[in-house]
Amino acid sequence: MKLSRRKILAAVVHVLAVTGLALLFAPAHTRQGVDYVVTVRELPAYEKALDFVQRDIKYRTLATTVTQGRRTELERLMAVYEWTRRNIRNIPEGFPVVDDHVWHIIVRGYGADDQKADVFTTLATYAGIPAFWTLLRTERPRAALPMSFARVNGRWIVADVGAGVIFTDAHGVPAPVEEIARDRRLVTAAAGDRRYDGLPYAAYFGSICSAGVPRTLRAEKQMLWPRLLFESRALLRKVNLGADAEIPLCDRLAPPTGTRAQSRRQRDDAAAD
């Protein structure tokens, strides 16, 4: 018996509707870390999707509010930087370290140094300034300094949001990462004799050029279309049809100025700690 075109279309629509409902109510998972213990919560896929869209809207709205009236990229970045410094405070004594969504850090109003960097780079990216953060490491395995990078006028500048340091040149203008890698005195000028996790602050900058720019920024994964593109790339990688390699932040440069005579002393300081 030959089926009419209308019946075939109705059957297709029915199958798609049933499949769509099944996907909406399929189990999904979300993770939360409390004092470095991670728990997994199950929830319907539609709830997770709605939460995602709502957070996307909230990030965009907040970034617009924070940068209102700021015209240049640097002005917008500084507005986000100052807002983050003002509104995301250190973790109060006795409070848990909670690690989940960036938006929840904003709502709580406190976070660790890496979480402050997460808030800063997320809002900066939503404000139209590509930004990411990474950990600068030393030869000591567990020593890692959260550092933020933002692309302003085509060049990546560097900020330590937790410490309240933006690295500038002799004229007070934010210095690009290549200049910081080449002239370590810029680090000393900005941070003084600051130490982090028991090590001299400047010791972390030997690896600054090892940082790679993610092809899809962490903040972009909070946005609908960039997230779909990222997931598509991830699917292609599984079948060896694509890659999502990091983009080099800067080229390897000559030995940094101001560190030749100090390098041995810094290594001795690190070893002593």
Q: Which residues of 179-218 are buried (b: 16+ CB within 10 A; e: fewer)?
A: bbbbbbbbbbebbeeeebeebbbbbbbbbbbebebbebbb
In a domain, 93, yes or no: yes
Same-domain status, 184 and 105: no
Q: Are 168 and 176 in contact (CB under 8 A)?
A: no
For the chain, how many structural domains are there in total? Answer: 2
Same-domain status, 183 and 91: no
C-alpha torsion sign, points 155, 65, 123, 225: negative
Same-domain status, 265 and 139: yes
In a domain, 12, yes or no: no
Backbone dihedral angles phi then psi of residue 154, each to the nearest 5 degrees = 85, 0
Domain boundary among 112, 129, 146: 129
Domain boundary among 95, 129, 163: 129
In a domain, 165, yes or no: yes
Same-domain status, 119 and 150: no
- Which amino acid belongs to residue 199? L
Same-domain status, 108 and 207: no
- Which amino acid belongs to residue 73? E
Same-domain status, 48 and 140: no
Helices 5-24, 45-66: inter-axial angle, 10-degree rounding: 70
- pLDDT of res. 207: 79
In a domain, 241, yes or no: no
- At 163-216, the pLDDT tens digits run 999 999 988 999 999 999 999 899 999 988 899 988 999 999 987 888 889 888
Domain boundary among 129, 144, 170: 129
Q: Are 162 and 89 in contact (CB under 8 A)?
A: no
Q: Are 175 and 165 in contact (CB under 8 A)?
A: no
CA–CA dist 259, 203 (Å, integer): 10
Which uninterrupted H or E stretch holds 42?
Answer: strand 37-44
Domain range for 57 is 27-129
- pLDDT of res. 219: 94
In a domain, 63, yes or no: yes
In a domain, 223, yes or no: no
Same-domain status, 61 and 190: no
Same-domain status, 182 and 64: no
In a domain, 11, yes or no: no
The CA distances from residue 260 to 94, 140, 144, 228, in Å, are: 43, 20, 23, 47
Same-domain status, 111 and 140: no
Same-domain status, 169 and 98: no
Nearest to 102 by CA among 214, 93, 87, 92: 87
Same-domain status, 188 and 268: yes
| Mean of per-residue pLDDT scores for the chain | 81
**Ordered mean pLDDT values, 10 residues apiece, the chain (273 residues):** 59 51 58 73 73 92 97 97 97 89 94 96 97 92 91 95 94 93 91 89 88 89 87 70 68 45 36 38
89-196-100 Cα angle (round to 5): 45
In a domain, 2, yes or no: no
CA–CA dist 144, 273 (Å, integer): 14
Residues 6 or more apart whose Cβ sits within 8 Å of residue 269: 199, 200, 203
Q: What is the CATH number of the domain that holds 93?
A: 3.10.620.30
Same-domain status, 147 and 96: no
- pLDDT of res. 11: 52
